[in-house]
C-alpha cells in the first residue's frame, strides 16, 4: 500500500506503528468505497490477483476471504519487513520482494487479471508515476484490470479548518518538497494511465464520507508524525529545532480534538489493459 519505492528513498517507516496505520487505512478505504475488489471486475476460480506495495498484505488477506480458494494472490513490495509470516497466510497467497519502479521479471509479465495499488502519494518522486504505471501494465494480462485508491494532499484538495492545522500543513508542504514529493500527478492519474496504454473505466475524486472523517484524520496525522521523524533523520536544512516542530504538531492535534479539520481527498481509478488485436 504505497510501500514500494527506491528502497532507501521510502520516507515513511516500516515499524509496528506504521503497520497498524496501513491496516487501519485498508478498512478506511473499504468503508469509503463499499468494497474491497471493485464489483465490476470479474472473478473466476482461476483468477490471478497481484498487489504492488502490499505492505502488511492486509488488502490481499481481505480479498482471500471473498474469493474462491483457487484464486492466486501475489503481493509484492520492495521490503519484506512488514510481511506476515508465510505460515499464517492462506495457501493461495504468497508475498515476495519486487521493486515497482523497475522492470517486471519475465515470469510475472502478463500473468495477472487484476493489479491493485493504494496510497502511492508519499512514494512517487518528482511528480512522475510513469515507471510505476508501466510496471503495473507489464504485470497485467490483456483485458486485465488496474484498481487504484489514493489520497491527494495537494493544497486545493485538502480539507483544513483552524490556524493550527494550516500551520502544520505549511510546515509539511516544505518537507514534501525537501523529499522531492510532488502530488500534482494524482489529479491527472487518468492521463498517466492512458499514456501507459490503459483504458480508463472510471476515475472518481471527491470528499470522504462523514463516517470516514475521524479515521482519515487520525491516520493522516500519523503519516505526518512519521514524515517529521524522517525529515529530522535526513537532516533537511530548513528544519527548526525539533521542539518547535513538535509544538506545531501538538497544536494541530489539539485543534483536531476541538473541532478542527485536517485531511486529504480520496480518489479511485479503475482501468483496463486492452485486449490484443
Confidence of residue 238 (pLDDT cuts 50, 70, 90): confident
Assigned domain for 256 exists: no
Residues 112-149 have pLDDT tens digits of 999 999 999 988 989 999 999 999 999 999 999 999 99
In this model, does residue 152 exceed pLDDT 80? yes
In this model, does residue 277 exceed pLDDT 50? no
Question: How confident is the model at residue 5, as a pLDDT?
Answer: 37
Question: How confident is the model at residue 260, as a pLDDT?
Answer: 86
Beta-strand pair 159-161/112-118 = unpaired
In this model, does residue 200 exceed pLDDT 90? yes
Q: Which ranges in the chain belong to alpha helices (H)?
A: 16-33, 58-64, 130-139, 163-178, 189-195, 213-234, 242-257
CB-based contact 22:56 (threshold 8 Å): yes
Assigned domain for 221 exists: no
Assigned domain for 162 exists: no
Residues 63-93 have pLDDT tens digits of 999 999 999 999 999 988 889 988 999 999 9
Tell me how far apart the alpha carbons of residues 167 and 235 are, in angstroms, rounded to a whole number. 21
Residues 16-36 have pLDDT tens digits of 778 888 888 999 999 999 999
Assigned domain for 77 exists: yes
User: Which residues constitute the domain of residue 67?
Assistant: 7-152+181-208+264-272
Assigned domain for 254 exists: no
CATH assignment at residue 80 = 3.40.50.150
Confidence of residue 7 (pLDDT cuts 50, 70, 90): very low
Which of helix, strand or coil describes residue 88? helix
Assigned domain for 244 exists: no
- Enter the C-alpha cell of residue 197: 496504454
Assigned domain for 86 exists: yes
Assigned domain for 213 exists: no
How many domains is the chain partitioned into structurally?
1
In this model, does residue 6 exceed pLDDT 50? no
Question: How confident is the model at residue 13, as a pLDDT?
Answer: 63
Which of helix, strand or coil describes residue 176? helix
Amino acid at each position: 500500500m504505497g510501500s514500494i519505492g527506491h528502497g532507501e528513498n521510502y520516507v515513511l517507516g516500516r515499524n509496528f506503528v506504521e503497520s497498524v496505520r496501513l491496516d487501519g487505512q485498508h478498512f478506511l478505504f473499504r468503508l469509503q468505497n463499499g468494497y474491497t475488489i471493485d464489483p465490476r471486475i470479474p472473478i473466476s476460480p482461476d483468477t490471478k490477483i497481484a498487489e504492488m506495495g502490499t505492505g502488511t498484505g492486509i488488502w490481499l488477506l481481505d480479498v482471500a476471504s471473498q474469493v474462491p480458494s483457487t484464486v492466486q494472490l501475489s503481493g509484492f513490495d520492495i521490503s519484506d519487513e512488514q510481511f506476515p509470516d508465510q505460515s499464517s497466510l492462506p495457501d493461495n497467497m504468497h508475498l515476495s520482494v519486487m521493486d515497482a519502479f523497475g522492470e517486471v521479471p519475465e515470469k510475472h509479465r502478463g500473468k495477472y487479471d487484476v493489479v491493485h495499488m493504494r496510497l502511492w502519494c508519499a512514494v512517487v518522486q518528482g511528480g512522475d508515476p510513469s515507471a510505476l504505471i508501466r510496471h503495473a501494465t507489464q504485470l497485467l494480462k490483456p483485458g486485465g484490470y488496474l484498481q487504484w485508491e489514493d489520497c491527494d494532499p495537494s493544497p486545493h484538495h485538502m480539507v483544513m479548518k483552524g490556524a493550527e492545522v494550516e500551520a502544520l500543513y505549511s510546515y509539511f508542504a516544505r518537507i514534501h518538497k525537501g523529499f522531492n514529493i510532488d502530488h500534482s500527478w494524482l489529479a491527472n492519474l487518468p492521463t498517466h494511465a492512458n499514456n501507459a496504454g490503459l483504458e480508463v473505466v472510471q476515475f472518481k475524486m471527491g470528499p470522504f464520507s462523514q463516517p470516514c472523517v475521524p479515521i482519515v484524520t487520525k491516520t493522516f496525522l500519523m503519516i505526518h508524525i512519521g514524515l517529521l521523524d524522517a525529515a529530522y533523520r535526513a537532516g533537511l536544512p530548513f528544519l527548526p529545532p525539533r521542539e518547535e516542530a513538535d509544538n506545531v504538531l501538538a497544536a494541530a492535534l489539539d485543534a483536531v480534538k476541538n473541532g478542527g479539520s485536517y485531511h486529504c481527498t480520496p480518489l479511485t481509478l479503475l482501468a483496463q489493459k486492452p485486449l490484443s488485436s
